[in-house]
Amino acid sequence: MNMQPRNLTSIRKLLMSLPVILALLLFTGVPRAHAESEEECQHHVAHADHELHEAIAHHGPNSSEADHKRHDLQEARERCWKEHHKWWDEDQHRWHDQQDWDEHDHDH
Q: What is the 3-state secondary structure (H, E, C) of 5-65?
A: HHHHHHHHHHHHHHHHHHHHHHHHCCCCCCCCCHHHHHHHHHHHHHHHHHHHHHHCCCCHH
| For residue 38, pLDDT beyond 80 | yes
Picking from 76, 74, 91, the residue whose alpha carbon sits closest to that of residue 36 is 76
Q: What's the pLDDT at 94? A: 94
Ranges 29-38, 42-51, 90-99, most confident: 42-51
Half-sphere exposure of 16 (CA within 13 A, CB side): 6
Do 37 and 86 form a contact (C-beta atoms < 8 A)? no
Q: What's the pLDDT at 72? A: 96
**Helix, coil or strand: residue 105:** coil
| For residue 3, pLDDT beyond 70 | no
Q: Which residues contact 97 (CB under 8 A, 6 or more apart)?
A: 85, 86
Mean pLDDT within 30-52: 85
Global model pTM greater than 0.85: no
Residue 78 or residue 7, greater confidence: 78
What are the tens digits of pLDDT across the range 56-87?
Answer: 999 999 999 999 999 999 999 999 999 999 99
